[in-house]
């Protein structure tokens, strides 16, 4: 159990603010329609939402960048959007959030991914996705990697995050290119995976699957939750993927962190979820990977990496919609809760 003093918490967040993190992955606009439900439609057995508010927010890998920025880290977001009206909105949102646009490539062959969420009486009722999830073609991939490579070779990068949403920006070729570049520059690589590219994330520094991604990525089933079965699955992941540090998020069961030591043995810890009033789990994984990466680069222990990630991921679940972590609130919770 971890207990921090105010001085220790301040020191941790000062270290976080010194980090420069590159985020590579699928970005999107989270578009919200908020309203009130008072009746059922006469046309079909569905509720009618009388819209009273609209909002656009940065989502996907962009939400990871916002979380990092909210904590105080310097952030470089690298992704591909379309040449469309939504791209204009996306760039405006980046500007409003003080995110550097240098890593954003536009493509005439794609549209800017948008997730429309309809919220009625403070509960999500429907989501509509507008996207192209085919992989980048060779020409686009080459152009995108050149853009990333130029940034890595011109500024200091403490870690690279792959935030994979299976929308086509990340491909096996790009993964291989980035891992070679990271190895050349001795930059740790942290991954939030999805099924399509799961097996290609070999030899990364840290991988953060949720339970579904863990089982699908390994091709196994886990019908009934069991900590022993999670441990077995994570150890299989270590061996198959040659990843030294695994952070498995288990939803209401908390978080499981495991390290494979150089002698082939393992150390692991299970941290239960904190008791909270859950409103919406959207974006929690983005927050977890952001804090895990910062804690890793700040030199924190495996248990500390899991504890602060677990705390931050739970915090954002108390709000409806995708929201970034609150730095001040997180610092206060680190002092008031036993981790």
- Residues 313, 269, 18, 22: is their CA dihedral positive or negative? negative
List the catalytic residue out of 137, 286, 302, 326.
286
Rounded Cα distance between 170 and 148, Å, is: 12
302: annotated active-site residue: no
Cα–Cα distance measured from residue 12 to residue 331, given in angstroms and rounded to the nearest whole number = 10
Q: In 26-93, which ranges are E strands? A: 27-40, 47-60, 74-82
Cβ contact 88:33 at 8 Å: no
List phi, psi (to 5°) of 223.
-65, -40
Q: Judge whether 249 and 292 are in contact, CB under 8 Å.
A: no
| Consecutive H or E run containing 190 | strand 189-192
C-beta separation of 246 from 258 below 8 A: yes
CA 125 to chain centroid, in Å, comes to: 23
For the annotated catalytic residues, the residue numbers are: 286
């Amino acid at each position: 159990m971890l207990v921090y003093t105010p001085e220790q918490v301040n020191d941790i967040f000062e270290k976080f603010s010194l980090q420069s993190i590159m985020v590579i992955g699928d970005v999107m606009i989270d578009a919200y329609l908020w309203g009130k439900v008072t009746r059922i439609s006469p046309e079909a057995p569905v509720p009618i939402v009388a819209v009273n508010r609209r909002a656009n927010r940065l989502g996907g890998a962009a939400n990871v960048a916002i979380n990092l920025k909210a904590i105080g880290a310097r952030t470089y977001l690298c992704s591909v959007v379309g040449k469309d009206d939504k791209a204009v909105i996306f760039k405006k949102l980046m500007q409003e959030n003080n995110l550097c646009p240098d890593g954003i490539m536009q493509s005439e062959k794609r549209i800017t991914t948008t997730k429309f969420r309809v919220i009625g009486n403070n509960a999500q009722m429907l989501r509509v996705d507008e996207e192209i999830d085919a992989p980048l073609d060779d020409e686009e991939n080459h152009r995108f990697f050149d853009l990333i490579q130029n940034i890595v070779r011109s500024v200091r990068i403490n870690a690279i995050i792959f935030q994979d949403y299976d929308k086509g920006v990340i491909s096996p070729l790009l993964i291989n290119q980035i891992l070679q570049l990271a190895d050349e520059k001795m930059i740790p690589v942290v991954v939030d995976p999805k099924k399509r590219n799961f097996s290609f994330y070999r030899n990364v520094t840290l991988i953060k699957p949720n339970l579904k991604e863990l089982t699908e990525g390994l091709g196994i089933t886990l019908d009934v939750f069991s900590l022993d079965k999670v441990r077995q699955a994570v150890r299989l992941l270590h061996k198959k993927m040659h990843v030294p540090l695994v952070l498995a998020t288990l939803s209401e069961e908390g978080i499981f962190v495991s390290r494979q030591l150089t002698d082939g043995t393992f150390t692991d810890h299970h941290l239960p979820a904190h008791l909270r009033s859950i409103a919406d789990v959207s974006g929690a994984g983005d927050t977890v990977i952001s804090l895990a990466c910062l804690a890793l680069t700040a030199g924190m222990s495996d248990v500390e990496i899991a504890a602060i990630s677990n705390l931050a991921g739970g915090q954002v679940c108390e709000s409806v919609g995708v929201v970034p972590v609150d730095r001040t609130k997180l610092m206060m919770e680190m002092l008031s809760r036993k981790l």
